């Protein structure tokens, strides 16, 4: 019972800190104090310590000896690799089903896109991440290969940090337009700058059941966008803007 209670409190603490980061209430490089969080949530420091370890695993935090935890974001290399791997795993699933997704999966993806529209309007990053995960998992399930789905799911804990990293990069693009390529600026302002419009576009292509078109769309969604994130991220890194080491 005590272990179950501790696990539950740890999840509460993790959800709280994660939400604070996603909402921008905790800034880049801001130090997190275990005791302050514990007092705020009315719990002991043990569950908070476990929560911070989990959030470091998810890519939201850095840890330095004698300094503790601080808010961070994924490195350009890590961000690119996550995009690359997710995209290629989803392409494998598409090949398995010949580009024809299960009818139940299409239905769930349609629901996820509609829910994402509301989440974008509310600027609720937590919900956007949730519906993104539901949307893309349907591609894997349509491949009907359990180990492939499980392999894709190993990247899921990093999805929140990925969205947070993209948000930081898009804010950087908005502030530094004069120093960036016009293609990067257009991407941030267009479909890729709106999660609802991006997934609506992607769903319309996946619904056609054409393997080559679907693979091309997934590559645009993941690989091309990953390269963009890497390119802009390296500029941010060169300016020492808060990446994991």
Is 176 contained in some domain? yes
Is 192 contained in some domain? yes
Both 185 and 156 in a single domain? yes
User: Sheet containing 31-32: which strands, arranged edge to edge?
Assistant: 31-32, 68-71, 61-64
Q: Which of 66-75, 128-137, 211-220 has the lowest mean pLDDT?
A: 66-75
**What pLDDT score does 244 carry?**
55
Using the predicted structure, report yes or no on whether residue 239 has a pLDDT greater than 90: no
Both 132 and 88 in a single domain? yes
Q: Are the C-beta atoms of 93 and 140 separated by less than 8 Å?
A: yes
Question: How far is Cα 63 from Cα 229, in angstroms, rounded to an integer?
Answer: 24
Both 113 and 215 in a single domain? yes
**Considering the chain, what percentage of its residues have pLDDT values greater than 70?**
88
Domains contained in the chain, number: 2
**What residues contact residue 97 under an 8 Å CB cut-off, 6+ apart?**
142, 143, 144
Is 189 contained in some domain? yes
Reported as a single tens digit per residue, the pLDDT across 179-190 is 555 555 444 445
Both 178 and 213 in a single domain? yes
**What pLDDT score does 234 carry?**
86
Pick from 56-60, 176-180, 238-242 the range whose average pLDDT is largest. 56-60
**What pLDDT score does 42 carry?**
96
Both 61 and 107 in a single domain? no
Is 65 contained in some domain? yes
Is 244 contained in some domain? no
Average pLDDT over residues 65-86: 92
Boundary of a domain, candidates 17, 51, 69: 69
Average pLDDT over residues 50-63: 96
In the chain, count H helices and then E strands.
Answer: 12, 3
CA–CA–CA angle 86, 91, 93 (5° rounding): 100
Is 1 contained in some domain? no
Q: Are the C-beta atoms of 114 and 150 separated by less than 8 Å?
A: no
Both 222 and 163 in a single domain? yes
Domain CATH code at residue 126: 1.20.120.530
Would you call 5 exposed, middle or buried from its count of C-beta atoms within 10 A (0-12, 13-18, 19+)? Answer: exposed
Both 55 and 85 in a single domain? no
Average pLDDT over residues 186-196: 65
Q: Which of 16-20, 128-132, 186-190, 192-196 has the lowest mean pLDDT?
A: 186-190
Boundary of a domain, candidates 42, 69, 96: 69
Is 34 contained in some domain? yes
Reported as a single tens digit per residue, the pLDDT across 93-117 is 999 999 999 999 999 999 999 999 9
Both 43 and 81 in a single domain? no
Question: How far is Cα 89 from Cα 111, in angstroms, rounded to an integer?
Answer: 23
Both 65 and 109 in a single domain? no
Domain CATH code at residue 58: 1.10.10.10
Boundary of a domain, candidates 69, 103, 118: 69
Both 82 and 51 in a single domain? no
Reported as a single tens digit per residue, the pLDDT across 111-170 is 999 999 999 999 999 999 999 999 999 999 999 999 999 999 999 999 999 999 988 888
Is 243 contained in some domain? no
Both 23 and 129 in a single domain? no
Domain of residue 41, residue span: 7-69
Both 79 and 111 in a single domain? yes
Average pLDDT over residues 12-29: 94
Average pLDDT over residues 76-81: 91
Mean per-residue pLDDT over the chain, rounded? 89
């Amino acid at each position: 019972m005590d272990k179950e209670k501790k696990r539950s409190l740890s999840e509460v603490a993790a959800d709280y800190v994660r939400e604070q980061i996603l909402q921008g209430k905790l800034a880049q490089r801001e130090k997190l104090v275990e005791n302050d969080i514990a007092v705020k949530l009315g719990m002991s420091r043990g569950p908070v310590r476990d929560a911070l370890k989990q959030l470091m695993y998810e890519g939201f935090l850095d840890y330095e000896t004698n300094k503790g935890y601080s808010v961070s974001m994924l490195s350009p290399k890590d961000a690119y690799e996550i995009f690359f791997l997710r995209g290629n795993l989803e392409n494998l699933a598409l090949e398995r089903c010949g580009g024809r997704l299960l009818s139940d999966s299409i239905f769930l993806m349609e629901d996820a896109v509609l829910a994402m529209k509301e989440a974008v309007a509310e600027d609720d990053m937590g919900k956007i991440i949730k519906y993104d995960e539901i949307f893309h998992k349907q591609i894997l399930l349509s491949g009907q290969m359990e180990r492939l789905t499980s392999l894709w799911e190993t990247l899921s804990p990093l999805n929140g940090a990925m969205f947070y990293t993209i948000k930081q990069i898009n804010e950087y693009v908005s502030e530094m337009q004069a120093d960036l390529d016009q293609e990067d600026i257009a991407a941030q302002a267009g479909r890729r700058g709106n999660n609802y419009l991006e997934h609506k576009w992607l769903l319309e292509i996946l619904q056609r059941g054409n393997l080559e078109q679907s693979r091309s769309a997934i590559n645009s969604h993941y690989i091309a966008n990953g390269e963009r994130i890497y390119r802009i991220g390296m500029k941010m890194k060169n300016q020492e803007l808060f990446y994991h080491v």
